[in-house]
């Protein structure tokens, strides 16, 4: 039996696009000699549909799309994912399901049993977990079909009380197929391989796994669909961050060594780069936007975001706005202009000195002669926010936010100023990783000016300002933040690891105090195991770790 894995980029709620895309790939799989073509979890509607699932018409469109797909699958079989109604009154109203379609009709329905409700996942909000399991017979083979999380309960600390494959294996299947919507983070590819390999080895069955690719607002899917033999050996690995369709012979997976080439493991920073490019591109394409604007300061954060945007959208579609203040150094302006020259994007220079001075004069009586402080710094940042939003409104540009994760974590940014934007490009990338990204962008020639990389980071909102005046050095800060955010360590654990007690408590207090700011920031492209946003939910007024 020849099995095609179709790793596609879906658009949530765009039924015409998704359906046509699936039908085209059924035809392509047929041309390549496939007997069965497998699509991803909730492929028909896109993942995650979230509260679209509350609308009955959305479900009607899902079923209509599935029936249209079935009409084009007459001389082969396909597997598609979609939400379906739960006809039982008790329990949630929907199932996360898969249709097995053969000869133009739905021959079997599989429903997801293990529903992830953690981090970015919220499936139990919508779906009822299923508890009956049945294999599917096709072309003399018996298929154990599961949906994403159904294979992830194989570890030393099981999250769920049941395991679908423990039931399906009793029916003597010949092959496992798993359809997934597995979000990207730069540490997830190796975990995914380990878990899926463990399933194949544990149940002594070959495993075909298909993931989707593409970005849905902040969540990025990296593809990387996989095939394992019954010993758990990885036999094939599909492209990352790209659509792909490949056909595999089940017998060859079992009997032929190294027929399908494996990919070299990409570095973390390479994956982050590719994920961000895909995230930017899909945010614009799926939202119907084409042109971006951002503030370009001469610093490393805005330089990296500008370079990424140019790679994702084309330099001709990126407007960089230089907004020097009276505290901006001549070298910062030169560094920004050098970047513009290197990448060829559009640019404007709009000074904010007059605007900031006007606000100072306007507020002078109200401030009653109080000395210059953070207030005047924030006024400058908000003047810049007004300028880039004016460019956005006038020309239809979409504003890219350039705040990094270190800044977001400790609140080192100005609400309605440098924290504004439609999408946060590097808000899940620590400052130390931003430096790595800059070096990666320069690997084939200078894109980011060298002075931008080596000079001390500064907001340039007061004379001779440096980030280190307000923050610990980023090398230390990022280590503490990673332990606290990604690894969920408390202050005692971090201090026990050798970090200074006063410093740790200061950092964690800043993280806690900045929660109100993060609630008002744009969605942030998720590239780490724990990003700010829907995957990390903290109370604004909580006192824990204060």
Average pLDDT, 10 consecutive residues per value, the chain (546 residues): 98 98 98 98 98 97 98 96 95 97 97 96 96 96 97 83 94 98 95 95 97 98 97 95 97 74 86 98 97 96 98 98 86 94 97 96 94 93 97 97 97 95 98 98 96 84 75 95 97 96 96 94 97 92 73
* Of 171, 155, 174, nearest in space to 163 by CA: 155
In a shared domain, residues 214 and 131: yes
Which helix H or strand E contains 235, and what residues bound it?
strand 234-237
Select which of 45, 62, 78, 148 is catalytic: 148
> Do 24 and 138 sit in the same domain of this protein?
yes
Residues 125, 20 share a domain: yes
Active site residue 405: no
SS3 call for 347: strand
- Asked whether residue 253 falls in the same domain as residue 348, the answer is no
pLDDT at 546: 54
Q: Are 46 and 14 in contact (CB under 8 A)?
A: yes
What pLDDT does 544 receive?
72
Q: Look at the chain and report how many structural domains it folds into.
A: 2
Q: Decide: helix, strand or coil at residue 157.
A: coil
252 with 326, same domain?
A: no
Residue 538 in any domain: the answer is no
Domain containing 170 — which CATH number? Answer: 3.60.110.10
Domain residues for the domain of 78 are 2-266
C-beta of residue 136 within 8 angstroms of C-beta of residue 99: no
Whole-number pLDDT of residue 264: 83
Query: What integer pLDDT is reported at residue 255 of this predicted model?
Result: 72
The last residue of one of the domains, among 250, 266, 282, is 266
Does residue 194 sit in the same domain as residue 45? yes
Ranges assigned E (strand) in 41-195: 77-85, 94-102, 105-111, 136-138, 141-147, 175-179
* pLDDT on residue 253: 87
Strand partners, 128: none
Whether 148 is catalytic is yes
Q: Spot the catalytic one: 2, 62, 78, 112.
A: 112
Residues 6 or more apart whose Cβ sits within 8 Å of residue 308: 273, 276, 277, 280, 425, 426, 437, 441
Name the domain boundary from 232, 266, 300.
Answer: 266
Is residue 301 a part of any domain in this protein?
Answer: yes
Would you call 36 helix, strand, or coil by DSSP?
strand
Q: How far apart are CA 494 and CA 474, in angstroms?
A: 16
**pLDDT for position 310:** 98
- Same domain for 216 and 343, yes or no, is no
Query: N- to C-terminal Cα distance for the chain?
Result: 60
36-38 and 2-7 as β-strands: parallel, antiparallel, unpaired?
A: parallel
Whether residue 111 sits in one domain with residue 226: yes
Active site residue 163: no
For residues 123 and 241, membership in a common domain is answered with yes
Residues 248 and 295 in one domain: no
Going across the sheet that includes 175-179, the strands are 136-138, 141-147, 175-179, 207-210, 226-228, 234-237
Nearest to 354 by CA among 311, 375, 383: 383
Q: Please, which residues bridge with residue 216 across strands?
A: 219
Integer Cα distance of 405 and 174 in angstroms: 46
Residues 145 and 290 occupy one common structural domain: no
* The pLDDT of residue 328: 76
């Amino acid at each position: 039996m020849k099995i095609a894995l179709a790793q596609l980029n879906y658009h949530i709620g765009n039924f015409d696009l998704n359906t046509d895309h699936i039908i085209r790939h059924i035809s392509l799989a047929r041309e390549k000699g496939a007997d069965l073509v497998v699509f991803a979890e909730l492929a028909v509607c896109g993942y995650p549909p979230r509260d679209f699932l509350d609308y009955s018409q959305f479900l009607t469109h899902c079923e209509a799309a599935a029936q249209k797909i079935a009409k084009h699958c007459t001389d082969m079989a396909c597997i598609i994912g979609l939400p379906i109604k739960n006809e039982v009154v008790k329990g949630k109203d929907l199932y996360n399901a898969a249709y097995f379609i053969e000869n133009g009709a739905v021959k079997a329905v599989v429903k997801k049993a293990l529903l992830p409700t953690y981090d970015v996942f919220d499936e139990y909000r919508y779906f009822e977990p299923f508890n009956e399991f049945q294999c599917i017979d096709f072309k003399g083979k018996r298929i154990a079909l599961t949906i994403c999380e159904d294979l992830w309960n194989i570890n030393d600390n099981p999250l769920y009380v049941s395991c679908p494959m423990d039931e399906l294996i009793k029916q003597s299947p010949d092959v496992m197929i798993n359809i997934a919507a597995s979000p990207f983070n730069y540490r997830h590819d190796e975990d995914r391989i380990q878990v899926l390999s463990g399933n194949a080895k544990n149940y002594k069955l070959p495993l075909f796994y298909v993931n989707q690719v593409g970005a849905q607002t902040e969540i990025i899917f990296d593809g990387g669909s996989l095939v394992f033999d019954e010993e758990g050996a990885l036999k094939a690995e599909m492209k990352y961050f790209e659509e792909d369709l490949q056909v595999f012979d089940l017998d060859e997976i079992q009997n032929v060594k190294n027929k399908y080439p494996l990919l070299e493991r990409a570095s973390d920073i390479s994956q982050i780069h590719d994920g961000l490019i895909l995230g930017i591109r899909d945010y614009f394409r799926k939202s119907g936007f084409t042109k971006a604007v951002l503030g370009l300061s001469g610093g490393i954060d805005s330089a990296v975001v500008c370079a990424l945007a140019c790679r994702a959208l084309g330099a001709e579609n990126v407007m960089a706005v230089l907004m020097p203040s009276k505290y901006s150094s001549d070298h910062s302006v030169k560094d920004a202009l050098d970047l513009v020259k290197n990448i060829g994007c559009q640019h404007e220079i709009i000074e904010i000195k007059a605007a900031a001075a006007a606000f100072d004069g306007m507020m002078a009586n109200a401030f009653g002669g109080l000395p210059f402080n953070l207030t005047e710094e924030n006024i400058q940042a908000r003047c810049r926010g007004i300028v880039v939003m004016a460019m956005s409104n006038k020309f239809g540009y979409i504003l890219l936010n350039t705040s990094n994760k270190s800044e977001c974590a400790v609140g080192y940014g100005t609400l309605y100023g440098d924290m504004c934007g439609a999408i946060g490009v590097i808000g899940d990338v620590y400052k130390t990783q931003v430096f790595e990204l800059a070096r990666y962008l320069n690997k084939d020639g200078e894109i980011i000016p060298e002075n931008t990389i080596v000079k001390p980071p500064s907001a340039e909102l007061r004379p001779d300002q440096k980030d280190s005046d307000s923050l610990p050095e980023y090398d230390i800060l990022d280590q503490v933040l990673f332990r606290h955010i990604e690894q969920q360590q408390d202050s005692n654990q971090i201090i026990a690891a050798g970090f200074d007690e006063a410093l740790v408590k200061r950092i964690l207090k800043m993280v806690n105090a900045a929660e109100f700011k993060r609630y008002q920031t744009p969605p942030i492209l998720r590239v780490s195991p724990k990003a700010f946003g829907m995957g990390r939910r903290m109370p604004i007024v909580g006192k824990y770790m204060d």
